[in-house]
Structure 1
Amino acid sequence: MDYQQGDTIVAIATPPGEGGVGIVRLSGPRALSIATALCGGSAAEPLTPRYAHFRRFYTRDGRVIDHGITLYFPAPHSYTGETVVELQGHGSPLALASLLAEAIARGARAARAGEFSERAFLNGRLDLAQAEAVADLIHARSDAQARAAAASLEGAFSQAVDGIHRQLLHLLALAEAGLDFSEEDLGDTHEQAIADGLTQLGRQVARLLRQAEQGARLARGGRVVLAGRPNVGKSSLMNALARRESAIVTAIPGTTRDLLREEILLNGLPVELIDTAGLRQAGDAVEAEGIARARHILHSAQLILLVADASVGWQAEDEVILRDLPEGPRRIIWNKSDLVSAPPPTPAGEVAVALSAQTGAGLDALHQSLIEALGMHGDNGPFSARRRHVEALEDSLDQLNTAKDLHSVGGVPELVAQSLREAAGALARVTGQIDAEDILGEIFSRFCIGK
């Protein structure tokens, strides 16, 4: 992180390409003076805070670049907590590039990716979980993702964390009271209050952890890979799930040579479907490369669908493929089940779904199986979350359980208090109250320029 307090930053805040409106955003101590110069200098009427002004935008030699709306937000009542000015012109890439260059020539610095949101965090306008929710909302690919990200941006996740954190600090104060007055008998009531508090907080953190895990799954989406022998109907199943002719389907083994990708929605979760080359001894170099890619992508799958042909039953080649699959969730898919009266026996310990990609029979059952396997059954969760949030909550819960175990056996009070401090610190990492320095650069570097 390289945050310089005196810098004024500038960026194009709208997506690349042509559009009806294009926005150049300035933030920092010189934002107003630079924007005023761009709008004609002292000859122009002063900008009124939070008022839409029609202005022409000029180069330093007086040429008009564009005209549009100028909005002025004085510090600290702005997105970043600094003085912010937005120049809203036409969505011309050339005009926007000219405005950006003029702002830089007048003393602004080109913003880094995510620097506006980074400054909002550093100036107390957003906590870290809310700042991450901004990126989640921008990158949302489904209504469920957008709703969850908006809830986090509004503070649903942060408020839950802060509420537990306050209770934890109160419990820590009780535990430390026993240290401060160790020579006095505070009584059974004091120890029972600590025991009850540990139990209650453990339940609350566990519940929040489940919600965060659901929110993290929703935020990152899912990846499902189809695997199996040639000609078992993987491409037909891909087309049936995608509801369009995405993959070429023929009776010729080895038709699919490369990875084919489609995205579908399952219970609000964006799921990337990947069709792969049939796994067998390759017939040529091109097919060999496709098979190598298929085996590689299997290791990144959240769920593998091993497709088998119900009309011929479980084959020795199917067994070899099953044995070589990486560890993780998987389903046996008995395709072409419309050709038999009943699906063949499934290998022991495996979960199977019988269907026909040709007729569509059994696809609803597959959808439900996918939802359960990807952990998206029931509510999608009240907010978006990240893997680091889940890890912080896991750490907090572990420390609470340690404190509870120590307290229940009359352990050293100092160790109980230390575990409570660690639990509180882990919670504080979620919203960036402590230990944020090491992760800020990683988090904000994934934002788009201008946000």
Structure 2
Amino acid sequence: MLSRHADPIIAIATAPGRGAVGIVRVSGKGIGPFVDQLLGRAPRAREAHYLPFADRHGQAIDHGLALFFPAPHSYTGEDVLELQAHGGPVVLQLLVARCLELAGTALPRLRLAEPGEFTERAFLNNKIDLAQAEAIADLIDASTEAAARSAGRSLSGAFSKEIHALRDALIHLRMLVEATLDFPEEEIDFLKKADAAGQLERLQSSLARVVQRAQQGALLREGIKVVIAGQPNAGKSSLLNALAGAELAIVTPIAGTTRDKVQQTIQIEGVPLHVIDTAGLRESDDEVEKIGIARAWEEIRAADAVLFLHDLTRVRDPEYVDADARIAQELTGQLHEQVPVIDVWNKTDAALEDAATPAAPLQAGRIAQVRLSARTGDGLETLRRQLLELAGWQSASEGVYIARARHLAALRDVDMHLMESAAQIHSDTPALDLLAEELRLAQNALNSITGEFTSDDLLGVIFSSFCIGK
């Protein structure tokens, strides 16, 4: 452990600003004498004490509650003191200053905590694992109810439990392979006898289920970036307003009204969608509008999905159709082939009844088509469902836990190493040393999710499961 982790730390634990209650938290090893001197009494463990918080002259800074949590039964696993006072920033800063002043004699090396250091100590002291530590930040940052519930499940250990189950199954499989490698004189084919191939297949199936739920959790955390693109006056700003349910963007019949992006985060079934309205795409001599169009293309290139908006009232205008075709060609060159595009045909309320939607897709295989009216709302629900489908969201997602991009990357690594392991197991002449290495790498990838990097766990399993000295 680094020397800085041995220092006692202090910080204001509530959000900046004024509130009814504010909390100052102190954490460290053996801070009992400091607590007694600060409070003027020895508080009983895990009981709230109402008392004055006095300055160096004995004058009350404030009256509030003090709670003392002796190690290891605390958030950080160390001794923890919480001072709950009125939530004014000056009051809380005075309490922090008093603690630091008193620490000169009663608690040397007390210092201000760094960002996230209380949670870091909880992880280092095995109160939580790395995935749970990340879930704390995700719970605080949750932008939807579904995201908050999923982060809560991760914090309670649901995600970690799945990872540990995969790891335990993987360790057992590694144990069989290592035993076959280390004790060939026993002439026991551990792999066939223990159905190693079947174990690996079941492990891969379990991994697939975990990946599916993790992908849903990543969607809840990150959401997707959806860019509305198209010619001027196609109804892009109206569509943004309709999706958001508020007048966010200025809507006028004047072409080029939107000069810069307008962004709003909405949620559909708990999934955050970061919807961006952009400047109309066209040739322009106006310098300000040209900057807006350039920014629109920047947003399009960075999009997770694009809504290509068309005006049904102008589908018989050759000039308009040609301009749409040029935009379509540009989109083909600018977008990655995996980025989904939805052709949205707007203004069904104003279009002629025989105004047909052009049949040719913009890019075959990755274009959906929706007809709607941003003004009346007709067809909006169909568009919402399309967006969720393209995002990969599945409605029956109860039990989803929050996940991050690094978790998904680690799970993909596990999957890759298990596929290599399967190739070795099913080979006519399996290279057991390569199989063992692939399984080891798979376990390392799993361990990176929860922050467990110990290498002695496998050795313990081998000694407890086999009669090594026989």
TM-score of the superposed pair, with normalisation by structure 2: 0.88
**Please, which runs of 5 or more residues in structure 1 have no aligned partner?**
437-451
Partner of 2:250: 248
Q: Measure the CA separation in 1 of the matches of 2:300 and 2:264.
A: 16
Partner of 2:411: 393
Q: Pick one of 266, 276, 279 that aligns with 2:278.
A: 276
Q: Measure the CA separation in 2 of the matches of 1:206 and 1:3.
A: 41
- Return the offset for 1:63: 3.1
Partner of 2:321: 315
Over residues 346-377 of structure 1, what are the superposed CA-to-partner deviations in whole Å (9 max), with x where a residue is unaligned? 43323211101111110110010011111123
Q: Measure the CA separation in 2 of the matches of 1:169 and 1:149.
A: 28
Q: Pick one of 314, 322, 332 that aligns with 2:343.
A: 332
1:351 alignment partner, SS class: strand
- Conserved? CA contact 1:258–1:277, under 8 Å: yes
Over residues 224-267 of structure 1, what are the superposed CA-to-partner deviations in whole Å (9 max), with x where a residue is unaligned? 11111100000011111111111110000111111111121111
- Conserved? CA contact 1:21–1:90, under 8 Å: yes
Q: Pick one of 137, 140, 157 that aligns with 2:139.
A: 137
1:23 alignment partner, SS class: strand
- Return the offset for 1:154: 0.5
User: Are 2:121 and 1:119 aligned?
Assistant: yes
- Conserved? CA contact 1:8–1:30, under 8 Å: no
- Return the offset for 1:435: 8.4
1:27 alignment partner, SS class: strand
How many residues were matched structurally?
A: 432
- Conserved? CA contact 2:62–2:91, under 8 Å: yes
What amino acid sits opposite 1:366 in the alignment? L
**Please, which runs of 5 or more residues in structure 2 have no aligned partner?**
104-109, 456-470
Partner of 1:106: 102
1:270 alignment partner, SS class: strand
Over residues 20-39 of structure 1, what are the superposed CA-to-partner deviations in whole Å (9 max), with x where a residue is unaligned? 10011111125444444433
- Return the offset for 1:181: 2.4
Q: Measure the CA separation in 2 of the matches of 1:144 and 1:357.
A: 27
- Return the offset for 1:378: 2.0
1:213 alignment partner, SS class: helix
- Return the offset for 1:271: 1.5
What amino acid sits opposite 1:335 in the alignment? N
User: Are 2:80 and 1:84 aligned?
Assistant: yes
Partner of 1:238: 240
Distance 1:418 1:14, change over 3 A: same
Partner of 1:355: 372
What amino acid sits opposite 2:64 in the alignment? G
1:182-221 correspondence runs (5 A): 182-187=184-189, 190=192, 193-221=195-223
Comparing 183-192 and 249-258, the one that deviates more: 183-192
- Return the offset for 1:281: 2.1
What amino acid sits opposite 1:345 in the alignment? P
TM-score of the superposed pair, with normalisation by structure 1: 0.92
- Return the offset for 1:50: 0.4
1:4 alignment partner, SS class: helix
Distance 1:180 1:56, change over 3 A: same
What amino acid sits opposite 1:427 in the alignment? L
- Return the offset for 1:110: 0.9
2:184 alignment partner, SS class: coil
Partner of 1:229: 231
1:162-173 correspondence runs (5 A): 162-173=164-175
- Conserved? CA contact 1:337–1:343, under 8 Å: no
User: Are 2:107 and 1:94 aligned?
Assistant: no
User: Are 2:453 and 1:412 aligned?
Assistant: no
Partner of 1:75: 71
Distance 1:85 1:288, change over 3 A: same
Q: Measure the CA separation in 1 of the matches of 2:92 and 2:189.
A: 71
2:313 alignment partner, SS class: coil
- Conserved? CA contact 2:313–2:347, under 8 Å: yes
Q: Pick one of 445, 450, 457 that aligns with 1:426.
A: 445
Over residues 284-323 of structure 1, what are the superposed CA-to-partner deviations in whole Å (9 max), with x where a residue is unaligned? 2222222222111222221111111112127122222222
- Conserved? CA contact 2:176–2:191, under 8 Å: no
